[in-house]
């Protein structure tokens, strides 16, 4: 169920924002201006999920992506990619 919810969350994100935080390259020259917004976007997403009562999804995100701006845990992203879900 968590994988399905992460897929839907990522799909809804892409409707409003054309990039995912994990797609940004921190070593790009000139620096990618979106790097400034990656952490802020993840924080806003987590705040919104908690405000809407989606504590299980928020905890899944925090547990799987503690040291990055990504909001889809690596194992879930790999599982979705292996099945052709982009």
- Of 5-14, 15-24, 56-65, 75-84, the one with minimum mean pLDDT is 15-24
What would the pLDDT profile of 10-47 be if each residue is shown by its tens digit?
888 888 888 777 777 767 777 666 666 777 778 888 88
Q: Of 9, 3, 8, 13, nearest to 37 (Cα)? A: 13
Residue whose pair of structure tokens reads 């802020």 in the numeric block: 40
Q: Give the number of C-alpha atoms closer than 13 A to the C-alpha of residue 37, restricted to the C-beta side.
A: 12
pLDDT at 1: 67
């Amino acid at each position: 169920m968590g994988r399905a919810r992460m897929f839907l969350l990522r799909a809804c994100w892409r409707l409003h924002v054309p990039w995912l935080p994990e797609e940004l390259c921190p070593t790009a020259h000139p620096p990618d201006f979106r790097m400034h917004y990656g952490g802020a976007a993840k924080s806003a997403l987590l705040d919104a999920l908690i405000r809407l009562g989606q504590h299980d999804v928020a905890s899944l995100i925090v547990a799987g992506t503690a040291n990055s701006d990504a909001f889809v845990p690596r194992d879930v992203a790999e599982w979705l990619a292996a099945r052709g879900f982009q």
